[in-house]
């Protein structure tokens, strides 16, 4: 959390090509063993916003942040 902005880090499911829905149940479509999709991990950053009494985020909205390291100086 920054002074005026809040963020969420999202770790996506690995080993899955895409999500589908069948009869109101989440269906995972496994990636082929050894394929790129089977091996990858993706971390997404989204900005949190307070809208109409709820905390929301748009995972597709571009986000720009300035990361700084603490050098102890």
The residue written with tokens 């997404």 in the block is: 44
Provide the residue count of the chain: 73
Give the containing element (helix H, strand E) for 38.
helix 36-39
- Token pair, residue 64, equals 């720009």
> For residue range 10-61, what is the model confidence (pLDDT) as tens digits?
877 666 655 555 555 556 677 788 887 777 777 889 999 999 999 999 988 9
pLDDT at position 71? 72
pLDDT at position 26? 59
pLDDT for residue 1 is more than 50:
no
pLDDT at position 53? 94
pTM comes to 0.55
Whether the CB-CB separation of 49 and 56 falls below 8 Å is answered with yes
Task: For the chain, give every domain's residue range.
Answer: 6-57
């Amino acid at each position: 959390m920054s002074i005026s902005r809040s963020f969420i880090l999202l770790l996506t499911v690995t080993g899955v090509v895409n999500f589908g829905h069948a009869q109101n149940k989440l269906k995972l479509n496994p990636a082929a063993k050894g394929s790129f999709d089977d091996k990858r991990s993706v971390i997404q950053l989204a900005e949190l916003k307070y809208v109409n009494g709820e905390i929301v985020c748009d995972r597709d909205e571009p986000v720009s942040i300035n990361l700084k390291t603490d050098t102890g100086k």
